[in-house]
Every structure is written in C-alpha cells, then in structure tokens.
Chains A and B, each alone.
Chain A
Amino acid sequence: MDVLNNLGLGFSVAFDPMNLLFVFVGVVIGTAIGVLPGLGPTATIALLLPITYTMDATSAVIMLAGIYYGSMYGGTITSVLLRIPGEAASVVTTFDGYQMTKQGRAGPALGISAIGSFIGGTVAIIGLTFLAPVLAKVAVAVGPASYVAIMVLGLFLVTSLGTGSTMKSLCMAAIGLLLSTVGQDPITGTARFTFGIPSLLGGLDFVAIAMGLFGVGQLLHSLERTEKAQAITTKIRNIWPSRKDFRDSSGAIARGSLLGFVIGVLPGGGGVISSLASYALEKRRAKDPSRFGKGAIEGVAGPETANNASSTSAFIPLLILGIPSNVVLAMLYGALLLQGITPGPSLIEDRPDIFWGVIASMYVGNVMLLILNIPLIGIFIQMLRVRTGILATFALMVVMVGVYSINNNPFDMWVVLIFGVFGWIMIKTGFDAGPLVLAFILGPILERSFRQSMLISGGSFDIFITDPISATIFGILAVFLAYSFINNRRRAREATAPAAVPVDTRVEAK
C-alpha cells in the first residue's frame, strides 16, 4: 500500500505540466538521436548537461532519463533498416531485423520492436517500483569473479549465435577479443598494441568499430549492387505485424522482459548481455533454429524487449545505491550532483519526489514512445524508397558526425572507415561481424574482472568456486558442454544408423 501511495506522489510530480513537457522533450530527442546512427545518448546528454543545472532537479533527471530510454527505441530503426546498430544492445537486432527488411518485412520488424520495447520497458518499471530494494542487493553481490563467469557465458552465447559455421564465429570472436586489448593495460596502465599512436592509448571505440563493420560495410556492399536489384529487395509489403507475427513473438517478448529486467541490474555489460541472452534463448527454444539470422521475428522481438527492460532496470542500482551502471547513467548521476543531490541509499527518504517522480515519468514516457513510434514507422520505412546512392551518402555523413561526437576525436572517423572496408570484405566472404563486435564489448570487462579476481585471490582459481554466482554459472556451463558433447556423439552415431527416425519432442499439435 505504501508503494501505491508513493507512486501516487510520483505521478503527481510526473503529471505536473512542466514535467510532462520535459518527458515529452526527452523521449522525442531520445528517439531522434537513436535514429541518427552514431549519435548516441552519451554524446547528447554530455551536451545537455550544462543546461540541466539551471533546471529543476526533478525535471532535469526526468528529461535525461527520457533521452536515455527513448534512444533505445530509436536505435532499433537503423539496425533494422540499414544494418547500422545505434548502440551496443542493438547489434543483435541487426541479425534478423535487417534480413526482415530485405524480405520486405521492415514494417513488422519495427512494429514488433516498438511493442516489445513498450512491454519490456513497462514490465521493468513495474519491477523497479516493487522489487528495487531487493535487486539492489544483487547488484553489489556481483563482484569481479562473478563478472568473469558472466562474461564467459556471454562469449559462449556469442559464438553460438552466428548464422555461419561455429568455426567462423569463433575466429571472429577471437579477433574481437584481440582488438579489445588495444590501449592501456587496465591494471598497470602501460600501453599495448598502440604502435606509438596516442589516440590508440584509449583503445578502439566500440561505436566506431560497430558503425564501420556493420554500417559502412553494409553501405559499401549495397552500393555494389544495381539499382534494379535494390528496388526488388526493399519492396515494402506490409507495415504492421500480422496475427502470426504476434503469435510467434509473444513468448519471446515475455521471456525478454524478464531476462532483460534481471540482467539490467548488473553494472557494466547489462544491455548487451541481455539482448544476447534473449537471442540465444529464442534460438535454442525455436522449433527450427536455422530460421534465425534469416529473418525470424522472434530474433528481433526478444532482444529488443530485453534491451529496453534492461535499460530501465539499470536505474535500480543508480537510484537505490547511488551506483551508475553505465556511462549514460553516470552522467545522470553527474547531473544530480550538480544540483547538490547525491544519489544514494538515502535518496528515497530525502527526496521521494525525485525518486518516485522519475519512476512515474517512465510510465508516462513509455506510453508516449509507443504512441509516437507506431505512426513514425510508416515514415521511416519510406527511407528505403530513397535511392541507395543518396541514402548511403547521407547515412555515411551522419555516421561520421556521430562517431566524432563521442570522443571529439577525428581518429575515430578513420577507425570507422577502415573497419568499413573490413566489414565489406567480411560480408563478401561470409563472415559475421556480430561475434567480433560482441566479443569486443565483453573482452575488456572479462580481462579486467579476471585480473582483479586474480589480484584479490592472490592468484588462486578457488575464487571462482567460492563465489556463488560464478560457481553456479560455471557449473551450468560445464553441464551444458558435457550434454551437448554427448548429444553430438549420439547424433553422429544415429546418423550412421539408417533406421533412425528423427523424433522432435518439441513439436506441438497444430
């Protein structure tokens, strides 16, 4: 009952006309920058930070939060239409989303993403309302050793989700890990693989690599094809998900909401891990896993839902513990500090108007985003009618501007172009960029946590067994590996026996 009273207070704050306006401004800016590839919430919030401290604290956070979750909606659009992931978590969306576009199903892909995002976001806000204090405890229990396990699990998922051969995915993941070691050593601060180039000291930027491999690579590839071939592949059939689409993706959305909510609480790689895990889960559960990577709607619905759920639940450690779990939330934290408010355990009691006001504004913001996004889908799809030459040029320009804006460093623009050429070669030779990019994101967290674990334990591997989270994850992985090994052996044996009848117990009655 207490929660409902507080939520009432929250809504009274959120429905204040000024705050309502700021929610709207936030989600509109968020959607817009999400759509523009490369321009992410990080750069936008950094730009707006000086303005916010002339604003009321609650309004400022409400607006910045709106930009953050709004950009998660917008990020999907270019992933699906142009294969340019706007942020880390939408890398996974490109796998099936872009394939759907090629099949003329961009509308359903975007429609289901918007609906999934809305459901995922709302489920996470409800969770945030009722479960936040419990989950906050989980967030601090996750130490370096647990991270090692989570990242190993993540890498395991990465290599299993490529559309090509596992060997190719493994190679790409290995290259991704290698690239992630460029820059300063996380423990000693010494330079690695920088070849005397100061810009490499900070390491390669994820956005630049993803934009290059996916975006620019794809643009180069599509320029290669004739205009005629383009027109056929991008013909738009329908712009709304069919009843079958809804049926196919309802399970994925439900599972994505829960997965995303729980994983989002983890600091660091939350967003990516949640969309990865959702994709892997859907692929595993599918009756016909080979559809994945070829335009399966569950492969879009699940990860997009999980991504939005996790970006909302990431507010739990920030608001309850005062621990920002990613760069964007760190800037929100900074915005509050500028207002003379230190987010932390005492925030709920000291400033319930901020705590509950922000939560209530998220309910409002999500509804606004849904209303905003559904009619916009029709407009965005018209983008595909633009001639490839023009679209590609414009997209490239926006990518370059966006990438520059992340670190204000022209070097990143070269990284995009170089990786763009690699991406194009990879498309031609049938290598997936997904495992590379995802391994690149997980690599630094894996390395740092592993070395921190080793420092803490004095070099003993026992730490991975005594830590309950890591012990559980490694245990499950071991069982799973053993199982699939035995299964493969059995299947190989059965394949040699001609009388074997394939039995799929998962086939449902139609």
Chain B
Amino acid sequence: MTMRSALKKNTVVFLPALAGLAMMGLVGCSAAGSQAAEADYPSKPVTFVVPFAAGGPSTVTALAFASCLEKGLGQPFVIENQPGASGGLAMQEVSSAKPDGYTLTLGTNGPLVMNPMINKLNYGIEDFTSVGVMAQMPTVLVVGEDSPYESADEFFAAAEKHPGKLSVAIPGATTSAAIELKRLSDEYDIEVTAVPAVGNAEMTTSLLGGHVDALFITDHQDVQSRIDEGSFVPLAVSSPERAGWYPDVPTLAEQGFPELVNAVSVFGVVGPKGLPDAVVSTLEAELQTCSADPAVIKQVGEMFIPEQFSGAGALDEIFADMQDLYEPILGQK
C-alpha cells in the first residue's frame, strides 16, 4: 500500500521532470540542427500525399514526378493516397504537418481552394506554402459522335433556346467545371443542367450510353484517345488560349464568354505553411528539371506540362486568383 502510493507520488513528480528535460533537449537540438537540416534536405524519405484515390490522373502525375525527384534528390518520394472528403482529409493533415519539407502534397483547385469555402474545414489556402506547378489540364466540352450539335455555336444556341434542357455531366460538385457552368448561367444567362458524376469513367459511360447531352470533362489521356477514335467530339476548351493539341477547337472565351477561362485543373506541389526558403528553392529547382525530363513528359502527357515552368511565386498567384474568383460564388451559400 505504502509502496504503491510512494511509487505513484514519485511517478507524478518524475514524469513532468522527464518531459521537461526531453523537451529542452528537443528544442536545443532543433535550434542547432535546423540550419543543417535545411542545407542537406532531403536527408530522409519524403511523404507525398495525393488527396484522391489511387489510379486517377493525380496519382499518375504524382508518381511520374516522384520518381524523377527521387533520382535528382537522392531520397525516396513516397506516394500516399489519402482520399476522402473530396481531398479535404489529406489537405487537413498536410496543413498541420511539420513544415520541414518531408510532408508535401498535390495542391489542386477542389481540395485546396474550393473545399474549405463550401465546408467547415480547419484549413484554408493560407495554410500552405507553394512550391511549383507539375501539370495543368484544361476542361473540354465534348459531345458524342451522334450528337445533333456539331459546333459550340449550335450547342450554346440550343442551350439558350431551351434553358435547362441540355444535360452536361461534370466531374463533381466541388470542381471548377461546376463553377464554370454556374457562371455560364449567372453571367451569360445560358442555362444547362449540370449532372455531377464521380470521375471520368462514369462520365464517359453516361455520354457513350446517351444518358447526357455533353460532358464538361477534365482533359486527360482517356479523353484524348476517345477524341482520336471519334467517339467524342470536342466543341470547346476552357483554357484562355486554344490548346495546341486541339488547334481547331475554339476556347469558351472565343465563343463569346470572355470570363470563362478558369476551368483549368492545376496540379501543384505544396507543403505546410512555413516551409523554409532553402527547402522550397531546392524542390522548386528540381521540379523545374523534372518538368523537362522526357520520362515525366511521356507519362504525364506532353500537353499537360506547361512549356514555361511556374515556380512557387507563380503558383501562389494562380491559387490566389482562384480564391478571388470562387469566393463570391461559393461564399453566397
């Protein structure tokens, strides 16, 4: 009895003391070691979180860049898929990780910018440090090969004549494609019915089966192979300028919607807020090298890697623009 209470008392005193000691040690170490750690970054494997399930374009892009970064920086870049809450879970975790460059993530429109506006999440765009852009994918408006609409003119004329009659599948509710169609109706008074689907596969099925009139789909290899074989016909692209690989397809801006140039998916590399400058510049430089690497270009798709590399500053600007654009629309809710 006495022994136990004595032990207990001792533990009570001992534990905080130990904890204090340990903390002092840690603080001391990190103060001394941080400079050195930044200089020889990376000195251990880096976790790269992908906020979607494995198999999609995000994973393909991340894997391609990870293997190149690994070669250049000499440490493994481990891809960890953390789907859930439209990417919100992964973003939340990375935003609260230690900003030492060993936890990075793929930052893109939905999870990073739009999700925190729609849902109550413990992070915002300001909780991240940008590193650079890996890939950019425009959204394309496509119809099936038997569609009565042969051009964007015909499609939008029909949509204007019969508001809400045309159904257009989109990749999800919290995507820039969804916002763009909403703006089409709000700003240009052309109303189509957006049908949110899950992923490119479901969208493809719904167009091939004739269940919807058109798709507003993120451009990727699968979409391109369908356009090549003729089962999809592209009507318009969402990028500010025409896409080099569809030279005959007009932009939405050319179609008379000068404001609709924002449905472009940006796959960037971001880390938690407060990433040391030395780490950012190491990663940024290597990312730039990788975006010119032939293996990476082949895997991600030549057209999706911007010719002009956008680094940390440029990516910051891209996300800030998105924030300004979406805030008034999503903030209304």
Please give the residue numbers on chain A whose beta carbons come within 8 Å of chain B beta carbons, in ascending order.
Answer: 45-46, 49-50, 53, 139-145, 183-191, 196, 198-199, 201-202, 267, 317, 321-325, 327, 330-335, 337-338, 340, 342, 344-346, 407-409, 448, 452, 455-456, 458
Contact, CB under 8 Å: A323 / B229: no
Interface residues of B in 63-95 (CB under 8 A from A): 63-64, 66-67, 79-86, 88-89, 92
Q: How far is the CB of A15 from chain B (nearest CB, A)?
A: 29
Among B116-124, B150-158, B315-323, the stretch that binds chain A is B116-124
Q: Are A324 and B55 in contact (CB under 8 A)?
A: yes
CA distance A184 to B85 in the complex (A): 7
Flag if A199 contacts B59 (CB, 8 Å). Answer: no
4 A-B pairs with the lowest CB-CB distances in the bound complex, closest first: A202-B84, A189-B173, A334-B55, A201-B85
Residues of B contacting A184 in the complex (Cβ-Cβ under 8 angstroms): 85-86, 119, 173-174
Q: Is the CB of A50 within 8 A of B63?
A: yes
Interface size class of B (residues with CB under 8 A): 35 or more
- Complex interface: chain B residues within 8 A of A202 (CB): 83-86, 88-89
Contact B193 A458 (CB under 8 A): yes
Shortest CB-to-CB span from B47 to chain A, Å, is 10
Interchain CB contact under 8 A, A342 and B122: no
- Of the candidates A186, A337, A346, A458, the one whose C-beta lies within 8 Å of that of B229 is A346
Chain B residues within 8 Å of A344, by CB: 222, 225-226, 229
Partner of A338, one of B63, B198, B210: B63
Closest Cβ neighbor of A142 among chain B residues: B209
| CB nearest neighbor in A for B53 | A327
Instruction: Say whether A188 contacts B205, CB under 8 Å.
Output: no
Of residues A143, A144, A187, A458, which shows the largest number of chain B Cβ atoms within 10 Å of its Cβ? A144
**Given A198-B121, A456-B212, A409 and B89 touching (CB < 8 A)?**
yes
Contact check, A189 vs B88: say whether CB atoms are below 8 A apart: no
The answer to whether B208 and A199 have CB atoms under 8 Å apart is no
Which B residues touch A338, using CB under 8 A? 60, 63-64, 299
Name B231's closest neighbour in chain A (CB-CB): A345
Contacts A191-B120, A409-B89 known; 17 new A-B pairs at CB < 8 A: A46-B55, A49-B79, A142-B205, A143-B211, A187-B196, A189-B196, A202-B84, A202-B86, A322-B225, A327-B53, A330-B54, A335-B55, A342-B225, A344-B222, A408-B80, A455-B193, A456-B195
- Once A344-B229, A408-B82, A409-B84 are accepted as A-B contacts, the answer to whether A330 and B120 lie under 8 Å apart by CB is no
8 contacts between A and B (CB under 8 A): A50-B66, A199-B85, A202-B88, A267-B202, A322-B225, A338-B64, A408-B82, A455-B194
A330 to B202 CA separation, bound complex (whole angstroms):
11
Contacts of A188 in B (CB 8 A): 173
Q: Are B54 and A190 in contact (CB under 8 A)?
A: no
- In contact, A198 and B85 (Cβ under 8 angstroms): yes
The reply to whether B63 and A53 form a contact with Cβ atoms under 8 Å apart is yes
CB distance from B167 to the nearest CB of A (A): 5
Contacts A202-B89, A322-B222 known; A49 to B193 CB distance under 8 Å? no
Option from A186, A332, A334, A346 in Cβ contact (under 8 Å) with B60? A334
CA distance A325 to B204 in the complex (A): 12
Whether the pair B83, A407 counts as a contact (CB closer than 8 A) is: yes
Residues of chain B in range 111-146 having any CB-CB distance to chain A below 8 Å: 118-122
Complex Cα distance A198/B115, Å? 11
- Contacts of B298 on A, CB cut-off 8 Å? 340
From B63, B92, B194, B201, A324 is in contact (CB under 8 Å) with B201
Contacts of A327 in B (CB 8 A): 53, 55
| Residue B199 is within 8 A (CB to CB) of chain A in the complex | yes
B206: interface (CB < 8 Å): yes
Measured CB to CB, the nearest residue on chain B to A48 is B54
Query: How close is B159's CB to chain A, nearest CB, in angstroms?
Result: 14
CB closest residue in chain A, given B50: A46
Known contacts A188-B173, A202-B89; is A456 also within 8 Å of B79 by CB?
no
Q: How far is the CA of A346 from the CA of B222 in the complex (A)?
A: 11
Any chain A CB within 8 A of the CB of B99?
A: no
How far is B264's CA from A315's CA once the two chains are assembled, in angstroms?
32
Within 8 Å CB of B57, what residues of A?
Answer: 337
Chain A residue at minimum C-beta to C-beta distance from B92: A198
Q: By the criterion CB–CB under 8 Å, are B55 and A140 in contact?
A: no
Instruction: Report the minimal beta-carbon distance from A350 to chain B, rounded to whole angstroms.
Output: 10
Q: Distance (Å) between the CB of B270 and the closest chain A CB?
A: 18
Q: A187-B173, A187-B196 are in contact. Are A49 and B206 (CB under 8 A)?
A: no
Residues on A with beta carbons closer than 8 Å to the beta carbon of B122: 198
Q: Which residues of chain A are near B44, meaning CB under 8 Å?
A: none
Given A189-B174, A202-B85, also A45-B54 (CB < 8 A): yes
Of A144, A190, A201, A334, the residue contacting B89 (CB under 8 A) is A201
Asked whether any CB of chain A lies closer than 8 Å to the CB of B306, the reply is: no
**Within the assembled complex, what's the spacing in Å between the Cα atoms of A334 and B167?**
28
CA distance A321 to B222 in the complex (A): 10
Which chain A positions have C-beta within 8 A of B253?
none
> Are the C-beta atoms of A140 and B56 separated by less than 8 Å?
no
List which B310-333 residues lie within 8 A (CB) of chain A: 333
Residues of A within 8 A of B212 (CB): 456
B222→A140 contact, CB < 8 A: no
Query: Is there contact, CB below 8 Å, between A199 and B173?
Result: no
B164 on the A face (CB < 8 A): yes
Contact (Cβ within 8 A) B60 A337: yes
Are A185 and B120 interface neighbours, CB within 8 A?
no
Given the interface pairs A198-B122, A342-B221, A455-B167, the reply to whether A189 lies near B63 with Cβ below 8 Å is: no
B172 located at the interface, meaning its Cβ lies under 8 Å from any Cβ of chain A in the complex: yes
Q: Which residues of B contact A198 (CB under 8 A)?
A: 85, 88-89, 92, 121-122
- B197: CB under 8 A from chain A? yes
With CB as the reference atom, state the residue of chain A lying closest to B174.
A189
> CA–CA, A184 to B110, complex, Å?
14
Question: Does B98 touch A at the CB level, under 8 Å?
Answer: no
Q: How far is the CA of A188 from the CA of B118 in the complex (A)?
A: 10
Asked whether B8 is an interface residue with its Cβ less than 8 Å from the other chain, the reply is: no
Contacts A187-B196, A330-B56, A337-B60 given; does A323 touch B205 at CB 8 Å:
yes
Smallest Cβ-Cβ distance to A268: which chain B residue: B202
By a CB distance below 8 angstroms, the chain B residues around A187 are 173, 196
